[in-house]
Structure formats: structure tokens, C-alpha cells
Structure 1
């Protein structure tokens, strides 16, 4: 449509001519030959169909998928980075033996830049942008209400205020753990030692030409340092692909992907990332096939060989008990409905909803022997202490004898009826078949007068 609109209505040649200017902006060197082939007025033959055909081609332009794993750094690469990071902070006259991603061991000289070492470490731990770490304030900590430092367990939680300058409505702080706090405190001490006569404004400072301490660590220096560092250490992922450490934004993708895989809701991820929309946050989450398969295997009931687990009709009750771990007992099962409370205490053997089978026979026999020994030991001690036998109406003795009788009946029933489940409460057989019932049809009738 735009091309047709530029065509003069009188059919004259437009002010821009394809015979004079090439698509790239360069002038044609053969306008006479082109005019002989195309004619003097080629734009007069342009119709709306040409524009419609072009827009159909535009719709076929492939778009990048929203979830991708191109920027995700896997565990294989992340394990190599901390081992090589001390080389960044090592003095230039010192050397360090390190193992590259390809397995080759080399000896390299230090870069004498501990600030770059701590900056990339903070990016890996927090997932913040390079500018947010590089230009952070020196006083970037604030206490967290209702959170105290537990010196015994080493727990230390603080609120880290980073330099948010990209999105006005986004937050500029996150909660960090003791590891991040230790890295920042180490950087603070380094600044105090190297800039003792000034009050620093930023956490990471430019080392030269910064008498007032108001210039942050230069962005170009940080990129160059990591680029040269990558050439030496040669970090590779699990597929052998090199991981360039100068592209630090991939650590932000990795951190948000890890948090998403832990099950954090989207609005929590958006708050942590400092994004204004959930769609931007989900753009950072990698669709890892490995994690998708792990989640599927965790939800599906599969055997080790990948085949599905099938349940018979006899397993129906057990399936309902899977969500209640307290329904599985050491010597049987409790069939009490989940919404009801148990008032029996530990008297499961004499409870009508207690069920056991031959798979627990060894535990029941061991419990019977222990109960007999406990009764004998306790009654003998009572006789020696008081000079007379323990009374038969003793509360403790009554409970122990009830358990002993229930265990004896349970084991007798299991032996006489192998392969069947047994109910508690003395193994009394439940009535089967119709129950005789007499209805008084005249009892509730209203007598008419």
C-alpha cells in the first residue's frame, strides 16, 4: 500500500526511481539497459496485490521462542568457575595452576583484580545485572525486620540494595544469605584498605584517578578483564561448548531458571528479578528438557525400566492412604477416614479400624513376645517392692493384657486364614449377609380423630 500510494495518479514517474537507486542505496551503473527491459514507468504496474504478497512473507518470519536455554549455564560449567575465580584476584607476579574445561592443566599469572572476581561471583549468586552490581552503593545493606542473626547456626539474612536504573517501577532490593553478605563485607574491607582517606560512594571503585572515591568500577574494564580471563580458563559446559564469562547476563538467566525450577510463583520471580511484567520474567526461564523429564518422572508412577506401575483392586485402600503418612503403622494400617480424629491413643490392636495381614506377622510376633516379657518383668518388680501380686484391676495391667489378648487372636487368625487381612478389636468377624430388621409401621403414624 505504501508503494502504491507513492505512485502519481497521472502515471508520471515518481520522484524515487528503481532505475536510478539500487535497494542498498547505491546508484545503478546501467540505467539505459534497465529502462529498455523494465520500461520507462515500472511503478505504474504496481498494484495492491504486490503489498499483500509482501505482508504474507513477513508473517512467515520466524520469531524467537519465549522460553529458551541458550543462555543457561549448566552445573558442569558452574563447577569450573569458582575453582578458576581466584586467578582474577591473584597478584600479577604470582602464578596459579588450573584445569581448563577441556581437562588440560595450565599455569597462568594472576590478573590482580579482586573486584572483578567478587563482582562476577555476586552476579552468579544473586542473578543481578552487571550494572546493578558494579554501581551499587557502599552502604548497600539494611536489616530485615523480625530476623535475627543466629550465631549458633551461622544464619545471616540481610536486605541488599542494588543499583536499579533500568525500570522505574521495579524494586531495588532483595534478600540475600550469609554467602552474599560475606562477599560484600570482603569487598568493603578491600575498599577501606585501598582507599583509607576517603568516604567511598560505591561498593566497587575505579582504582586510578579516583581521589574522591565517587567513580564506580568502569564497565569497559570489567568486560575486558572477563574476556581475557575466559581466554585462559576456557570454561565449557557439559556438551563441550565454550562459555564466555564476559557475557554475564547469562548468569541472570541461570539464577531465575533455578528459582523457577524450585517452584517459586511467577509473581515472586518477577519481584526478585525486578521486572515490570511476568512475560519478561518468563523470557529468562530456560525450558530445559532435563528438568521437564525430572518433573514428569516425579509425578508419574514409573518403574526403573520406564514402564508404568499398575495397581490391582486390592490396592485401592492403600492408594487412598498415600496422602496420609500417619495411616501406615509398623504392624498394619489405620483405616480411619482422614477427616476423623483418633481417640484411641496407642490402642491400635483393640481398634475396629485397625487392619493387618501376613506381611506384618513377624512384627506382631515380636510385639507379643515383648509384651509378655514386659508383663512378667513389671509384675515381678511389683511383687518384690510391695510384697503382694499386682491387682488384676490395675489400669496398666488391664491395658497390657488387652494388648496381649488382641495380639494372640490376631496371630491365630492370620495362621488359620492365610492370605487374608485381619481386623482388630479381637479379630471379631464382621457380620455378613442381610441383617434381620423389624419395622414398626404404626409407630409414627398420626392418629386421625
Structure 2
């Protein structure tokens, strides 16, 4: 059994050399932090800089809630609206405490962080006053900053004071509001006014700490990189330095850092903690490293790693292996520096064996699938069904709205009141952009190609502008695409919505966040968009033609659909690649393979029938193979397929309906109905022409008329058989028992034009 380095309790022992991340007091101060003679101490520099930014009229922590600008940050509370009174919130203690409160209120107003309830703030202030007094009376450590007071302690004391004053416990809602006050104060002060490096914080917030390196547009800016859950402590401090280096060197994006910290703590950290691995080297003898890696890999592939009774997928296992190996590669290369930064000399014991924890023999090759799943494609019929129901999301909250789906019965829903999310969904459907690319659009993302007069008279399918989006996934790509007039209308309507919601301000983003953003400076998070679409899914319960749930929240399917449609329409690969923002044609070609899979799936969906509506003995798969082998595209007919052997030639002209090699299915029902109507019209036309020329009637006994009537009879038989199948096997879109089944032909082309039409139909009156 290998000798793993561990302590009896599964935690680092006092003798194992583990020390705090912070350098010793006797450690030399980095040259960049040595102040000049008479300069401000580094320990107070950041707070001094922040406080200097606060205008004089915001420094007293005294507010008039009935006048601007204070009424822009404080919510309306009838107990605090006396027009002749200013309300003071100065804290009874060191002046720094009141100054920090005033800075926080001003920051909330300036950046639109949140609205503040004056009643909650007064409750919080009384609690802080009491805590400062108790600390002064019973402790030798006075409160010098609000950062010294942990949120949970403030909350506990506030509830105690409320119970003493009111004789009852506060409501859960009021307790949450009180907690949010101090959590917000503590978060902003810790991130912006404390002089410790940003990477020493237990949680990293892009919005809070402006010292963290970042891209200009970060789709995961609201997501936190958390170090709290990473154990053991040696791993937490190592991951802290590793991720810091990766972010600074632009090796990892913020999104990657978030998932990496989560995976290191959730898998590798949990395994080390549960098995008492107390040393960064993992084992005492380097020869045992391979055995350690094998046991860890065995655990990863077992249900124990997920805590849900099933094993994780191979892709996640491989990703975890790669992450752990990348961590040890970096820590081994930089071990001397890491040991100095963490104050833990044990990192110096890492060696070459740690760079091959998972050799090639222990890594299962990660294979990129040849095709994207066919179920990620939405047919035109299903997309039309979704577009019919998306207005439910945009209708005013609580207002009744009636939706009439294609070939379905009207249904009535209650509006969800999120028209901004409705427009974002339409834009994503029409452009094929990722959800983050839509939500982070600039407030003015359009470059018009023509003048207003030309655009007003342009065809609805004509490209009239270029849409600029935020490309955050692939570098070196032109982040603009051509868009139609309806996209322009959606953008203009959303711009007006933003102006109405944020009067006097032009926010940087077209889709600003709905909460904690009263000045409109932050884009709407993806989680907010997904929550809105999930509410819509719960309300309408759509199903596709196969009976599977048709989820609005799976927005990436819209991108797959747009890409596959472009390829199906004959757009060249390199043009589709540029439109999708792909760096290589290989990624775009995956959609081409999906197109083939989708075409086959659609072909096999329906039972095949021959002339005179007789059922064919051949299986649909055999028919598909027969028509595709040898690239026999000449056998594909407008209303079915020809099963004539390759060596034979057809001498039947346009008489496929009487041919034993003809096969058709329900997807061609509309074509047969159109042919029947055309044949009937042709018979009537010939009869009129004969009567005008001869004065006699052309009877049904005429040989030509008999032939056409025979065709009509065959068409009648085929149509009756296909309609009978459609009425018994078609799947309704709304997933509600007793609804009229949809009989619309499922096609893989035209979905884009259908959504263009429905977006135009659902425009608000102000945009028409």
C-alpha cells in the first residue's frame, strides 16, 4: 500500500508546515509597496482613494428621501417622507464607520448596485451601534471598520434587538432584507477599500474589485470564483495562486476560472480531504504517485464522486484529469515561487513525477463527436409553434393572452411581463447568435446599409443592416452579421424600452439587468434570461412532433437550427463559417453532418405508400438506402421517391401515380393536395376550351378525360390514406390532452422566414 502523506484527522497537522497565505510580518516588503518618506501607509491607501471620490453632499450620511438624488437610491417608505426633514444615519463610534456607510450609499447610487430601504438601514444602524458599544465595553479590540463585523454576527444581533423591542421574531422577508444590507456593505468594503491583494479574498467578484484582470466584455461577470469550498488548506492556497497566474497571463478566461475552481474543490479537493491527504506532494514516496493517480481515477469513475448514485460522464472525467494535471504542471514549474508566496515550503518537494500524474495509458481519448445531436435541430413546424407562444412571455404580467398555434385550437395564458426577454429570444432565433452575444449587445449595435426611405420599401427578407455583437469565445473573428428589417425593428423597440425604463441615461447595453441595476450599467445575466424562459416552459408545456418537450430555455438549439438551415439553403461553407463566427471550417462542417442526419431522420419518420395508396413491404430504412446509394438523387421526386432499379430507364413521363416503383409518405400530403386541385382545374380548362371551339360538351368518356379522372381517383386514395394516418399519429404541439393534432408538414427549410413573419406579427403598435 503506498504511503500517502496524511494526518490522522484528514486535515493538515500543526507540524506539517502549513502556514497562512499572508507573508510573515518579518518578510521583506516588496519594493513596489515601500512608501516614500511622508507618504500614506499602504494599509490605508485604498480607503483614502475611495473616500476622496465621494462628493461633499454625500459625506454626512444624512439624506432627504423626497428629493433627488437621494430618492434615486432609497426606496419609497411613507415613514421617511417628511419634506421638511433630513434623516441622519451616523453611527455612534469611530468616524470611519459613518464614512464607510456614506461611501457605500453613494456607490450604490453612482453604480446602480441596489435600492435601499431606509427602514432596513435604520434597523441595521441600531444593530451596529449596539455592537460597537458592546465591543468597547467588553473587548480590548475596538471596531475600526465595518469590515471587522461579520454579516452573520450583525444579523444575529439585529434579530435579538428586534425580538427584545417588538416581543416577536422578524418576518423571514425582513430578516433577508436586513442581511442583504450588511452583506452588500461588507462585500464592497472588502473588495474595494481593503489593501490586501485581490486574490487573497475568499471570493473573487469582477463587479466588486476593479483590480482583477478581465476582458472588455465578460459574459460571466456576475459569477463568483469561490475559494471557500476548496479543502484541504494547502490545496486552496495553491489553487489561489495558480488561478491568479492563469488569469493574469490570459491563459484562462473568467468563465474557465469559475468552473476550474469549482471542479478542483468538488472533485480533487474533496477526494484529498476525505482521504486525509495533508501534503502538496500527495505521497511520501514519489514512486507511489502512479498508484495515487490510479486510485483517484477509480474514485472519479465511481458513483461516489457524484453523490447522486450514478457515475459522471467520460468527458467530465477527462476534463478533471486535465485540470489536475495542469495544476501540478504549473506548481512544479513554479514551486520555489509558490513556496515563497504561500509561506509553505512543502511545495518545493514537487518533482518530475508530478508532471505525469496521468500518463497516456491512463487517459481515455476524448473524441469530438462527428455530428451534433440531431435533436438540437428544431423543425420549421416546431419553431413556428414556439414563435406563436413566445408572446406569452412578453404580455403584461397578469394579463390574459390568447394564442392560436398552426392547425391547433386557441389557448389562453396569463402574461409573464418580460417583453425584453421575448425580444432577446426573437433576436437569437433570427440571428443564430449565442445567448451571451445577444444579452451583451451594445445599446446601438446596428450599422445601416441604406437610407430610411430605401429600408421602408425593402422586402422583408432583404438585408438592410449589420449587427455588431460581442464575440467573447473566439478571437480574430469579425463580430458583425447582416440582418433583415425585422431585426432592426426589434432592436429599435428594445432601445425605446430601455429609454423608458432608465430615463435620462443611455446604458451601455441593449439588454440591461433587471435587478440591482437601477442606472442600467450592467448587462442582463444569462441566468436571468434562462429563468424567464423556464417560466414560459412551465406555462405553455410545448412538445415537438415526436412528443418530446420543446424547451424555450434550450436556446442554443436556435443556433444549431439557423446554421443547419443556411447549409440546407446552399450557402457556401466559408460564408456560414463567417456568419457563425467559427474559427475553423471543421466546426461548421459538423452542422453539415447534422443536416444529413436530420434529413434521414425526417425521411424515416413516416410510413411509405405506393401508387393506389397501397402500403409498401419495404422498410423505410431500405427505401432510404436505395434512393441514396450511388448518389441516386435523380430518383427523388417532388411528391415521393422512385424505386426503379438503377439499370432501368423510366418511360412513364409524368405518370408516376400509376407506376409500381413509386413511393410516398405523409410529408408529401400538401403536394398531393395541390396536384389534385391542379388536375381538376386542368380538366375544367380543357372542357371550356373544347366547348368554346366546337359548341359540344367534352364528356367523361373522352379518353383524355378518363386518364385525368383516373389520376384524380388515385390522388384521392393517397390523400385519404395519408390524412387518415396524420389524424391518428400526428403529435400536437401544446402537449395537452384532447387538443386538435397538428397536421402541418414537418420541413427543415423556411423556419427563418416563418420567425421573421411571426416577429412582425407580434410587434407592439409603437413599432409598426
TM band (smaller chain): 0.5 to 0.7
SS of the residue aligned with 2:482?
strand
Q: Which of 523, 526, 531 is equivalent to 1:224?
A: 531
Pairs aligned (count): 276
The answer on whether the counterparts of 1:94 and 1:109 sit within 8 Å (CA) in structure 2 is yes
Structure 2 distance, partners of 1:24, 1:310, is 62
Q: Which sections of structure 1, spanning at least 5 residues, go unmatched?
A: 1-11, 27-50, 313-449
Query: What are the superposed Cα offsets for residues 212-271 of structure 1, whole Å, 9 maximum, x if unpaired?
Result: 322111221111111121122122222111122112111000000000001111100111
CA distance in 2 between partners of 1:13 and 1:101 (Å):
68
> Residue in 1 aligned with 2:498?
191
CA distance in 2, matches of 1:131, 1:110: 25
Q: Determine if the alignment matches structure 1 residue 85 to structure 2 residue 419.
A: no
Seen in structure 2, the aligned counterparts of structure 1 residues 22 and 215 have a Cα distance that, compared at 3 Å, is closer
Change (3 A) 1:77 1:306: same
Report the counterpart of residue 673 of structure 2 in structure 1. none
Task: Compute the displacement of 1:98 (Å).
Answer: 4.2
Cα deviation for residue 146 of structure 1 reads 10
CA distance in 2 between partners of 1:147 and 1:269 (Å): 28
**Aligned twin of 1:114:** 419
Residue 287 of structure 1: aligned partner: 595
Question: Do the aligned partners of 1:98 and 1:233 also contact (CA within 8 Å) in 2?
Answer: no
Is the aligned partner of 1:271 residue 2:578? yes
CA deviation digits over 1:75-101, x for unaligned, max 9? 221011111111111112212244789
Q: Is contact 2:388-2:405 (8 Å) kept?
A: no
The one of 481, 486, 501 equivalent to 1:179 is: 486
More helix by share: 2
| Equivalent residue, structure 2, for 1:15 | 288
Is the CA contact (8 Å cut-off) linking 2:398 and 2:416 kept in structure 1? no
Query: Is 1:256 matched up with 2:554?
Result: no
Q: Does 1:306 align with 2:633?
A: no
Distance 2:482 2:298 in 1: 54
Q: Classify the secondary structure of the residue corresponding to 1:264.
A: coil
Q: 2-side partners of 1:298 and 1:109: how far apart?
A: 52
The equivalent position to 1:95 in structure 2, one of 400, 406, 413, is: 400
Does structure 1 residue 75 correspond to structure 2 residue 380? Answer: yes
| Deviations 1:363-392 (CA, angstroms, capped at 9, x unpaired) | xxxxxxxxxxxxxxxxxxxxxxxxxxxxxx
> Of the two, which has the highest radius of gyration?
1
Mapped partners of 1:150, 1:25: distance in 2: 63
Deviations 1:131-180 (A, max 9, x none): 11101001111122799725444566111111112112111100101111
CA contact (8 A) 2:635 2:641 kept: no
Q: Deviations over 1:90-118 (max 9, x none)?
A: 11221224478997875432111111000
Map residues 50-449 of structure 1 onto 2, 5 A cutoff: 58=364, 64-98=369-403, 107-144=412-449, 149-154=454-459, 157-285=464-592, 286-289=594-597, 291=599, 299-301=633-635, 306-308=642-644, 310=649
Give the 3-state SS of the residue equivalent to 2:442 in structure 1.
coil
> Contact between 2:396 and 2:415, CA under 8 Å: does it hold in 1?
yes
User: Matches of 1:305 and 1:142 in 2, distance apart?
Assistant: 46
Deviation, structure 1 residue 283: 2.5
Residues 228 and 192 from structure 1, CA distance in 2 versus in 1: closer, same or farther, beyond 3 angstroms? same
Alpha-carbon distance in 2 for matches of 1:305, 1:16 = 63
Unmatched 5+ stretches in structure 2: 1-284, 300-358, 604-623, 652-768
Contact 1:187–1:203, Cα closer than 8 Å, also in 2: yes
Identify the range of structure 1 (110-119 vs 205-214) with the bigger mean alpha-carbon deviation. Answer: 205-214
* Aligned partners of 2:563 and 2:576 also within 8 Å: yes
Q: Distance in 2 between matches of 1:179 and 1:233?
A: 25
- Residue 160 of structure 1: SS of its match in structure 2? strand
Provide the aligned C-alpha RMSD in A: 3.9
Deviation, structure 1 residue 272: 0.3
Q: Which deviates further from its counterpart, 69-78 or 125-134?
A: 69-78
Give the alignment's TM-score, normalised by structure 1.
0.53
Question: TM (normalized to structure 2)?
Answer: 0.32
